[in-house]
Structure 1
């Protein structure tokens, strides 16, 4: 099982634990699944966010 799959499953489990009910709460589950997937991609090294979080550097 890859980290992406594991992250998605963890996100789904957290979403189900947080919101078990109607359609609006099911959207929360989808949000947690997406967050878990993105975190897993970052941990796998498939997604590099360093250019967005490093800040602005001077080229002098």
Structure 2
């Protein structure tokens, strides 16, 4: 499924929630959609839990960047 179709579906879901449920339903659908997006990115491997915390060691950050470069190169 293309990104434009996913965006269209998300927009329609938010529109229906806003129209039929009001502002709070719109907000709930928006927040749950964001949570679902983050969960999907974690499952696919495009996002890692460590991306949400700040690292103290610059060398570790360099190693992570090198690891990501190797992973992207393999695909």
TM-score (norm 1): 0.49
Bigger relative contact order, structure 1 or 2, given CA contacts below 8 A and separation 6+? 1
Quick check: which one's helix share is greater?
2
